[in-house]
Structure formats: C-alpha cells, structure tokens
Structure 1
Amino acid sequence: MRIAMVVATLSSGGAERVTTNLAGRWAGLGESVTLITWSDSADDFYPVDSRVTRLGLGLLHDSPSWFAALFGNLRRIRRLRRVLRALRPDVVVSFLSKVNIVTILACRGLPSRLVISERVHPPRAPLGAPWEQLRAWTYRRADEVVALTRETAEWLAVHAGCKRVSVVPNAVFLPLAVGEPSVDPRAIVGSDGNILLAVGRLVEQKGFDWLCRAFAKNCTQFSDWSLVILGEGPQRDRLESLAAELGISERVSMPGQVGNVADWYARADLFVLSSRFEGFPSALIEAMAAGCPCVSFDCDTGPRDLIDDGVNGKLVALGDVDALAGALGGLMRDPALRARFATRSEGVLERFSEERIMAGWRAVLSG
C-alpha cells in the first residue's frame, strides 16, 4: 500500500511524535510511506525512519495579514495537490485541523482514499470563524475521520456532519525515540531530590501557569521536591516571570526540548498533566507506561480514558488550582501511594498497546 502522510511540521509536539511513530511502523510493515510537511525537513525535531520518504514543502511561514494567510494556504493546496498527483498514493492520511482542511481541498477529485485525524477536542480549541466554516464544509468530504476519543467522535458527527468516524486513541510506542539534545536529569536536579515532572510545549493550553501556582503552595512543606517542565514555546518568559513572582525560581527548571524524555520518566517521582484541554495526551500515557504515578486535571477528553481516579492515578477538577495543589501534596508526602499508583498505571501498556492501536489504524486504512 502506498501511504502519503501530511502534517504541518515535525517540531516537538504530541501529534508530531505520533505521526513519526506511525510512519515508521507502517514502513516497517512493508508499506511505501511518504511523510509530507508544510515545513522544511531541516526543521525536524523527531527523527524519521530511514525507510520513510521524507518531503518538506518549505511552505510554513508566518502570515502578517489575512490576505497573506489566504495566499499562503492557496500555495499549500496547489503544491500539495501536485505532489499527491505525482505520488498517486492509495491512501492519504492528514493530521491536525487546519492541515486536514487544506489536505481535503488539495485532494478533491483525486482517486486516493482520504483519512483525516482530529488530534484535539474541537470545542475546546476553536479555529476562528473562517476555519470553523471550512471544517463544517470539508470534513464530511473525507472518506473517514479518526478521533482520539468517543466524545470527539460524537462532536464531529453532529457539528461537522462526518458520516464515518472511527475512534483510534494514541498507542504506547516503546521504546521511546531517542534524539538530541540529551539532557541528564542529574545535571538539572542532582541525584537525591524528588522530581515533579511535566512535559509539553510552553503554551497556554498546557496550563503550566496553573501548575506553578499549585507547586508554590507545596514548596515550603516539601523542600526536597523540584518541578521540571520539559518543552519549549512562546510562554517561557511569562512562566519564568511567574516563578520569580511566586518565589519558586530556584525550585523550577525548564531545560527546554529534550531528546531523552524516557530518562526523565524513569527519574521522575511524580508526573503531572495540568492542561486546560487535551485530545489524548501522549505525555500522560508515556509517563504511566513508564511506571510514573500521575496526577491530571480532568479535561473534557483524554485523561479520564487513562486514569481511574484513586486506582491508578489522581484526577482533579479542571482548573481547580487548590485541588491540584492538594493532590500533589498528598502524593508528595505518601511514597506508598505513589508506589501503588505506579504499579497500577502500567496497565495502559496492554490497553493501548502498539499491536492493538495499529490494528485499529489498519482497519481505517483498508476501509
């Protein structure tokens, strides 16, 4: 089978990591896979399997005006259409909302089966009026839509008119990819202290401002704990300023993007997901698979599919910083509870195994 995959970029992010993993697995099964991005391939953060054909269009640019944005997207549609006509794939698979819309428009009239993958819960991540109208008009024209959760599948059927929606959550792909930069946890927090770990882009969605406030409420009582946030993004300065304002700068580290996140999961004493919304959080499922005890906000979708509250982790009411602080403090002071959650959290390895999730994708691709 010839598969063409389309995503905006392979910069650090959950959707980008999933795309890279799927491409490598399909190539390993003998499929002919081409991975296309709007960005140039030189900007990749995640390594791509050598059996995958990598094609960067070099069309990922900031748009200073609505006219420039319109022109840029028309260029993407035309260029992608030319590429797909030349490749003649059996299946085109695109990821992320705006990329999905552009890919649907580029594929009109082409014989390839078209599958789009929605990576967030749309009502929690509105695109703006023009894009929302385009989603309502285009999504129903895809041969199949893949959602990460049942709630998202239901929303797409009602609000986007999608007739065929399959639920295929993220898999636990092990071992986790290793790349650069490699940052030794001991170089950041030493060997003796306890680590509260969070992973994600430094953007508002990830709720790291809430996390800093919750951690600050525990700093005095738990002086041997440090908060480490792995990731990079536009909110770095704001988060650093907030940590200084809260008086916790010396207890909070933000090393940036790392290529050895598995080492950090292994070193962490507790993992926290503080997001305002999620699709199906890759970092949370990876942390649980690695045996980390986990605390998470109960987002509209995602964490509740992974955590059975009080059994294999702790769910906290979305946005309740005091409750998050209380849940973190309870686990910081109770190593036996952390150990119990850690042991039970590894059950995600079976529920979201590579074999099970890839079988779901095979059914989608074959139609």
Structure 2
Amino acid sequence: MGRRRILVVSPYFYPEGGGLERYALDMARALSGENEVEVLCMTRGEGGIDNIGGIKVHRVKPGLVVSNTPLSLKFVMKVASMIQGVDLIIAHTPVPFAADVASFLAKLMGIPIRIVYHTVGLKKGAGFLDALAGLYSATLERFTLWGAEIIAVSKTVWEYLRGNGYNPRVSHPQIGLPEHASRQRGRSREKVILFVGQLGRYHRFKNLDLLIRAFSELSAEFPEWKLWVVGDGDLLDEYRQMALELGLGSRVRFFGRIDDPEELAGIYLKSGVLVLPSSFESFGMVVAEALAFGVPVIVSPHAGARILVESGKNGFVLGDLSVPVLVNVVRLMMDNPKLLRKMSVLARLGFESQPDT
C-alpha cells in the first residue's frame, strides 16, 4: 500500500488533556512514518496550527463547552474542508460531537473511518447530563459507530462495546520509554505516594478523596510519608480543604497541572508508589508511565491498565475500592522498603515486556 493521507480527529490533542490525547499522539506518530498525517482538534487555549514531531496539528477554539464536550460550527467546517482527498479518517471519542461530525462526513464522502473508543460509558453520576448521555448512546452514537472500524483501547472497553452489540478489536496504548526515564539509575526515591489525574467535577470517579482519606488514616503511623497530587480542575480547592480538615496540612502537596515532560519526569523519579483508585478507567496511562519510571503501582480493579500489574511483583491490584482495603495495601508498601526497592526494579525491567497492541 502506498503513502496515504490520514486525518486524525480528536476533541483535544497533546499536550492538552490526559490519556486519550497521549494515545492519539502515539498513534499519529506511529502512522506518520509511512503516511502523511494531520490532526484536527479543539483547544481550551488559542486556536491555530502547530507542529509536533513533524505532525501538523490544527486547533480550533470551540464556541461552547458542555460538561467536557467542546462544540464548534467552525470545527464542522474545518473537518469538511480537510477531508478532501483524505484516504482514512481516525476519530478518537470519549465524548460526543467530534467523532460524530467526522463519521457523518466520512460516510457522506465515502471515506473509510476508524473510531478509537476510549471510555466505558459517558455516565458520570451527573443527573441530567447522564440522561442526555444515555439518549446519545442509544441514538446518534449508534449511527456514528455503524460501518466504522472500531478500536477499543483496553479489554475493559472491549467488553463494554461487545455488551452493546459492537464488534471492536483491542489496541492497548503503547508508551515508549520516556525520554527522561534513564535518569532514574542511581537515584534515591522519597517517601511519596503519587496521584496523577484530572480533578474536575466530571472526574470524581478517579476517587482522589478515597486516597486522601486512606492516607489520613496512615499519617500518624508513617509520619515521614507524603502525598503528592498532580492535576488540575474545578475540585482542586475542595480537595485542598479536605486535606486541611483531616489535619494533613503540608503532608499533601498539590502541584496543579504539569505540561513540562521534564518536570513531570522529576516527580515520577522521586515518588515511591503511584495510586490509581478510579471507579472505572478505560485504561490509565499514568500506570504505564509510572512503571516506565520504575514506580510501583496500586491500581483499581476497574482500570484497564490492571493488565500491566503483577500483584506482589511490580505493584498490586486492589480487591475492591474501600478505605480499609486501600489502607492495608498502602501500609504494606510503606512498611516494606525492601519490597518497594524490589518492585521498583521489576517495574522498570518488566516495562518493555508488556502486552503488545
């Protein structure tokens, strides 16, 4: 097959966002070697065109954002203009609109479309918005996915899609060894529990409050340990207040959002354990990143990235999401520096042998 023109459509794109945007970037990079790849997305910042590793990225400022869904008539017009002469469209979807527009126009123009599905449902416990999400999934989303090649980013997402009558294939995220990971050799880690994730009201499912409560119960027993939180969102002040009310004070450090890869690498390299206690997580890229930096992990049983974890070797998969269970597993790791060191080595050595896509 000759060199193809591929248009990648995504609600947002790296360096904005989180796991989806990183996955989209890695996929675009993998395709760009033998194909001409361009990206079209929306942005919370200023619109325009930039270049990431030779990939041209077109960013459109949305006219409206509902929940976490950007909406833009200009984006529709931009998709319509950019698909001229395209051989394949790849649309990433955790939320409505962007993939819907791409799918409709692809079908109209007779262009093959591949849809990468990143979630296990749009309902987030938000009442009226959940009702709209259910209506969308039963109507417009079915048209969007009809006739498309569907890729699930994890077995968890695959199971969700199969349960709804679709026939996807699985392509797990692949993270190459981070640029700064080699710096970990010879470094001593600090007594730090690390959480990395968005802190918005539509991301309560990441359960940072559960981790803060568990850390509070262990704080007197392990006074040298700290909790570091990387991420931003409209619940940041609520979590800060929660930490203060539990008497944790400076024991919990909120870094906010970090876009600089070198700064984020420095945090991973200092951390002792990463915890991802989400109620659901289509994958959980932070788990793969942590392991690449030699950070043992404690992972929710509902995270797709649990496939990367061998309990007792490079981390633990929680039995369930409760404060007592999380306390027991975190205590085990805090109280066993030798185990932590061994897990750190195994995490790093086992990273390259993780499941292929």
* TM-score normalised per structure 1: 0.81
One of 270, 295, 298 as aligned partner of 1:295: 298
Q: Which runs of 4+ in 1 moved over 3 A?
A: 40-44, 123-127
Q: Whole-Å Cα distance in 2 between the matches of residues 31 and 48 of structure 1?
A: 16
Q: Tell me, in whole angstroms, the C-alpha distance in 1 between the residues paired with 2:284 and 2:63.
A: 25
Report if the CA contact (8 A) 1:101-1:139 is conserved.
yes
SS in 1 for 2:89: strand
* Corresponding residue for residue 261 of structure 1: 264
**Residue among 320, 329, 341 paired with 1:318:** 320
Distance 1:3 1:275 in 2: 34
Residue 296 of structure 1: how far off its partner (Å): 1.6
Which moves more between the two structures, 90-99 or 123-132?
A: 123-132
Match of 1:197 in 2: 194
User: 2:311 aligns to what SS in structure 1?
Assistant: coil
8 Å contact kept, 1:100–1:117: no
Aligned residues: 329
* CA distance in structure 2 between the partners assigned to 1:177 and 1:91 by the alignment: 34
Consecutive unaligned residues of structure 2, counting only runs of 5 or more, are: 125-129, 182-187
Describe the superposition over 1:194-227 as per-residue Cα deviations: whole angstroms up to 9, x where unpaired. Answer: 2111111113122111110011111111111111
2:80 is matched with which residue?
Answer: 82
Equivalent residue of 1:62, what SS? Answer: strand
Say which SS state the counterpart of residue 295 (structure 1) adopts: strand
- Per the alignment, residue 6 of structure 2 pairs with 3
List alignment gaps of at least 5 residues for structure 1: 179-190, 358-367
Residues 25 and 263 (structure 1), Cα distance of their counterparts in 2 relative to 1, 3 Å cut: farther
Residue 213 of structure 1 aligns to a residue whose secondary structure is helix
For residue 23 of structure 1, report the CA deviation from its aligned partner: 2.2
One-letter code of the match for 1:235? L
1:167 aligns with 2:167: no
More divergent stretch after superposition (226-235 vs 54-63)? 54-63
SS in 2 for 1:310: coil
Pairing 1:1-367 to 2, within 5 Å after superposition:
1-10=4-13, 11-27=16-32, 29-39=33-43, 42=46, 48-59=51-62, 61-63=64-66, 73=71, 75=73, 78-86=76-84, 88-97=85-94, 98=96, 99-122=98-121, 128-134=133-139, 136-159=141-164, 161-163=165-167, 165-176=168-179, 193-202=190-199, 203-258=203-258, 259=260, 260-299=263-302, 301-346=303-348, 347-352=350-355, 356-357=356-357
- Aligned mates of 2:297, 2:31 — CA distance in 1: 31
Q: In structure 2, how many angstroms separate the alpha carbons of the residues matched to 1:282 and 1:171?
A: 9
Which shows bigger deviation, 16-25 or 110-119? 16-25
| Shift in Å, 1:140 | 3.7
TM-superposed CA distance for 1:252, in Å, is 0.4
TM-score normalised by length of structure 2:
0.83
CA RMSD of aligned residues (A): 2.7
Identity of aligned residues (%): 21
Q: CA deviation at 1:233?
A: 1.1
Q: Separation in 1 of the partners of 2:90 and 2:230? A: 29
